[in-house]
């Protein structure tokens, strides 16, 4: 691998690393603004082919799974509120 190829790969890796960090920040902001969680997962799906076979692939996969598991647990929590499990009320 020559110097220019290493430089191009480094730039590519830096850009993708920055995108991963932005997605982490968007996921953290989702506690205040739900729309950022949707934006984050869209970015992940659009950019995940760019990180195939790199060390960033696992981060992108983790971020996507975090979205889907969060959505699952939000749905379960919402559904269980109707039978008073989700409210955390003490037993009578």
User: Could you tell me the CA-to-CA distances from 89 to 81, 83, 84, 85, 86 in Å, in that order?
Assistant: 10, 11, 7, 7, 8
Vertex 51: Cα angle to 48 and 57 (nearest 5):
80
Domains of the chain, residue spans: 3-83
* Nearest in space to 71 (alpha carbons), one of 79, 61, 59, 60: 79
pLDDT per residue as tens digits for the range 6-62: 554 566 688 999 999 999 999 999 999 999 999 999 999 999 999 998 889 999 999
């Amino acid at each position: 691998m020559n110097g220019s190829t290493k430089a191009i790969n480094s730039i590519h890796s830096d850009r993708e690393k920055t995108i991963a960090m932005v997605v982490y920040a968007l996921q953290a902001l989702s506690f205040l603004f739900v729309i950022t969680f949707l934006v984050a997962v869209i970015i992940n799906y659009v950019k995940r082919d760019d990180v195939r076979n790199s060390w960033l692939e696992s981060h992108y996969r983790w971020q996507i799974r975090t979205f889907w598991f969060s959505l699952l647990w939000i749905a379960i929590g919402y559904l269980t509120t109707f039978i008073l499990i989700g409210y955390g009320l003490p037993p009578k």
